[in-house]
Structure 1
């Protein structure tokens, strides 16, 4: 279980993240949704130790930790693939840095490429494949870290709607097939409703949690579900209210 308590951050004297607390159960999928610029990415930088927290505590499996830098894999909005390396070599980078034998890391990469629909593209450069395939490669690289926690910072935001739907299913595999504990930020309400076990609605800066919604609907989900459509309308109204207040 991942427990985050009372995280606060100011920039130039102005509050950006204000006393944020949340809990993600082991193998849970928690999604944060809020307006652009509300501090979602800043929160992840605080959790990963990229920025120092002014106040706050983090616990993983009942043990206090200073940050998630060595516990979580972090998948960002941009795929950040190295343009001179093929897809398989890009995905294998975490293992190479850790000194894992190439034979073993190559086997793991190939298994991931088979499962993520990248088989046959191992030697292709990033510039020669679609944005969706690059994000699949970035997902494979994220899994190659072998971490129990995965932070997802709007990883599908730059993709077209059809590709997003396909890759949302891939993100679902993090929970169902790879048993990861997932914390994701997005501004796409439907994406959040399709993936989340718990949905946290955020306020504009300074970021706080305005509402918490448990989603017990079985997965995979479809947005044609009338209950999900009703929740979507509630979340949309809440975000619009917070923005105008």
Structure 2
């Protein structure tokens, strides 16, 4: 047989197979890496969406906490004790809760916890639930008490009318709250943040830090932090 008619030798065939295998493994690794990156990005987006929904709702409620109409609480007849503590934070074991008495400007559905009728000049009356129709010159302010509770890896919300806690988001690794406090009652500037302020009347803002975890482990724990000011205490 002529030398020119010979096929590949065994060494050449093994070398070609080895090079092909390396190329296939390299391409597969690129595809696997791209899919893992896409999965981690999707997981991070889902966590970010959950955080945006929950923190956006809490921020809105914090900003309107203590807004009981156009007159101070001292001028509201029949004001409940909850009006004196529009922002309250408690911790028991691994459970933590943030309670806000806030304006129900969004009309979240259902009957309000309280309603204040005020003429915005010198008289105001608080009613449990809904109030009578406002008289000429009166304005009606609907109020709700919302309690956000972190327990067993979930953030939940409840109200006095619906004490059964509704889950807002799962896979919560941590939920921490601290309060920006002023130096004295008439001041508006925050001088420090305190997890448990002795004088709640000095609270001017609320800082929330929440950590979410992807149950599939596709992305590292994501930490989100926001600060919201109590508008009625800023003058």
With normalisation by structure 2, the TM-score equals 0.22
Higher relative contact order (CA 8 A, sep 6+): 1
More helix by share: 1
More strand by share: 2
